[in-house]
A = this chain, B = another copy of it.
Amino acid sequence: MKIPNWIKQRAYLTPNRPAITYEEQTLTFFELYERVSQTAGKLAKLGVKQGEHIGVLSKNQLDFAILLYSLQHIGAISVLINTRLSAAEINFQLTEAKINRMILDHAFLQYRDQLEVPTVLFSELDQTEENNLFKEMDYFQMEDVCSMMFTSGTTGNPKAVQQSYQNHWWSAIGSALNLGLSEKDTWMCAVPLFHISGYSILIKSMVYGMHVRLYHQFNPSQINQDIVEEKGSILSVVTTMATQLLDEIRESSYPSSFRCMLLGGGPAPLSILEACKEKNIPVYQTYGMTETASQIVTLAPEDSMRKLGSAGKPLFPCEVKIMKDNNQALPFEEGEICVKGPNVTKGYYFHPKANEESFVGDWFYTGDIGLMDEEGYLYILDRRSDLIISGGENIYPAEIENVLIQHPNIEDAGVVGMKNNRWGEVPVAYVKATNISKDEIKRWCADKLAPYKQPKQIVMTKDPLPRNATNKLLRRELKGRLEASKDED
Query: A residues 171-193 with Cβ under 8 Å of B?
Result: 173, 176-177, 180-183
A313-B12 contact given A17-B302, A177-B207, CB 8 Å threshold = yes
Q: Are B13 and A314 touching (Cβ within 8 A)?
A: yes
Q: Are B180 and A302 touching (Cβ within 8 A)?
A: no
Q: Are A3 and B317 touching (Cβ within 8 A)?
A: yes
Once the chains are docked, how many angstroms separate the CA of A314 from the CA of B4? 11
Q: A16: which of B1, B302, B317 is its contact (CB, 8 Å)?
A: B302
Q: Are B4 and A300 touching (Cβ within 8 A)?
A: no
Q: Does A209 contact B (CB under 8 A)?
A: yes
For A12, the chain B residues whose CB sits under 8 A away are 313, 376
A181-B183 contact given A13-B316, A313-B12, CB 8 Å threshold = no
Q: Does A331 contact B (CB under 8 A)?
A: no
For A317, the chain B residues whose CB sits under 8 A away are 3-4
For A316, the chain B residues whose CB sits under 8 A away are 4, 6, 9, 13, 207, 209
Q: Are A342 and B177 touching (Cβ within 8 A)?
A: no
Q: Does A132 contact B (CB under 8 A)?
A: no
Q: Are A180 and B177 touching (Cβ within 8 A)?
A: no
For A375, the chain B residues whose CB sits under 8 A away are 15
Chain A's interface size range is: 20 to 34
Chain A, residues 293-332, CB within 8 Å of chain B (1/0): the string is 0000000111000000000011011010000000000000
Once the chains are docked, how many angstroms separate the CA of A17 from the CA of B342? 25
Q: Does A363 contact B (CB under 8 A)?
A: no
Chain A, residues 1-39, CB within 8 Å of chain B (1/0): the string is 101101001001111110000000000000000000000
Q: Does A111 contact B (CB under 8 A)?
A: no
For A177, the chain B residues whose CB sits under 8 A away are 176, 181, 207-209
Q: Are B183 and A301 touching (Cβ within 8 A)?
A: yes
Once the chains are docked, how many angstroms separate the CA of A317 from the CA of B316? 19
Once the chains are docked, how many angstroms separate the CA of A302 from the CA of B211? 15
For A302, the chain B residues whose CB sits under 8 A away are 14, 16-17, 183
Q: A182: which of B3, B180, B319 is its contact (CB, 8 Å)?
A: B180
Chain A, residues 124-148, CB within 8 Å of chain B (1/0): the string is 0000000000000000000000000
Once the chains are docked, how many angstroms separate the CA of A300 from the CA of B13? 8
Once the chains are docked, how many angstroms separate the CA of A313 from the CA of B313? 35
Q: How far is the CB of A173 from chain B (nearest CB, A)?
A: 6
Q: A313: which of B1, B13, B173, B301 is its contact (CB, 8 Å)?
A: B13
Q: Are A1 and B1 touching (Cβ within 8 A)?
A: yes
20 pairs, CB–CB < 8 Å, chain A vs chain B: A1-B1, A3-B317, A3-B342, A4-B316, A4-B319, A6-B316, A9-B316, A12-B313, A13-B313, A14-B300, A16-B302, A17-B302, A173-B173, A176-B177, A177-B208, A181-B181, A181-B182, A183-B301, A183-B302, A207-B316
- Which A residues are closer than 8 A to B by beta carbons? 1, 3-4, 6, 9, 12-17, 173, 176-177, 180-183, 207-209, 300-302, 313-314, 316-317, 319, 342, 375-376
